[in-house]
Amino acid sequence: MIGRFLEISVCTPNIQESLEFYQRLGFAQAETGDVWSHRYAVITDGRLFLGLHEYEFASPSLTYVRPDLSAHLEALLAHGVHFEFEKTGDEQFNEVGFLDPDGQMVTLLEARTFSPRPVTAAEESRCGHFSEYTIPSRNIEAAIAFWEPLGFVTTRREDQPFPSATLTSDLINLGFYRLPELRTPALSFVEPDMAERIANLESDGLDVNRDVPGREAGDKNAVLRSPEGLVLQLLTGDH
């Protein structure tokens, strides 16, 4: 119903500063088109695609491509979606946006905004394996009920040590957590050797925070914050 995942779109006040931060972490830059009038860049580790937009909007947004977008709006309305914005017409690039039950913005575009050609990059960034886009949730069951009809499958559901669930689709996993300490969405990376990776990032002068929501304090987990305020969780574990 919502199409194919494109990117996690992020609003940045200084695109050059954001680019330098992610490139320092080992991300590569993809080739973008000229759809947007604002400055725009895409960085990737081959698995995660982040769209950096020097433009103010509800950020971060999960952004999808749905060709012939206007023909599918009625189905979304029938699903109970309320459009926060709707830009459709013959004379403009069609896009619509709506919120999930936890206030996560979802944007649908009529076409891609960057090249699908493979990017020459390392197999992974210095952060390791991108595991999921993590969302603070007020009601896990409501999140599942909303996302499953949109093409996601629940692969994990737990109540201890706190309510959580993982939903997966073709190109991205969504993790929902009812955890008071988790206040904003995050990019979560998981590796068995994450403690060593964290130490390397710290020795390279990056500002590493050891206070990770839902995790014990120590050297095995950490948080980075990008210049535009996006949270990157670095977690020790298997993937």
**What percentage of residues in the chain have a pLDDT greater than 70?**
97
Q: Which residues pair with 222 in a beta bridge?
A: 234
CATH of domain 129-236: 3.10.180.10
pLDDT at 174: 98
58-105 pLDDT tens trace: 999 999 999 999 999 999 999 889 999 999 988 889 999 999 999 999
pLDDT tens digits, 173-202: 999 999 999 999 999 999 999 999 999 999
The 10s digit of each residue's pLDDT in 209-218 is 999 999 987 8
The answer to whether residue 41 scores a pLDDT higher than 90 is: yes
Collect all residues with Cβ–Cβ distance below 8 Å to 40 and sequence separation of at least 6.
15, 32, 51, 52, 53, 54, 55, 113
Quote the CA–CA distance of 152 and 150 in Å, as a whole number. 6
Give yes or no for residue 120 having a pLDDT over 70. no
pLDDT of 114 strictly over 90: yes
Confidence of residue 1 (pLDDT cuts 50, 70, 90): confident
Tokens of 154: 């629940």
Give CATH 3.10.180.10 domain extents, the chain: 4-109, 129-236
Classified by CATH at the fold level, domain 4-109 comes out as 2,3-Dihydroxybiphenyl 1,2-Dioxygenase; domain 1 (3.10.180)
Judge contact between 158 and 175, C-beta under 8 A.
Answer: no
- Please say whether the beta carbons of 4 and 64 come within 8 A: yes
Between residues 232 and 35, the one the model is more confident about: 232
Q: Is the dihedral angle over the CA atoms 166, 117, 23, 7 positive or is it negative?
A: negative
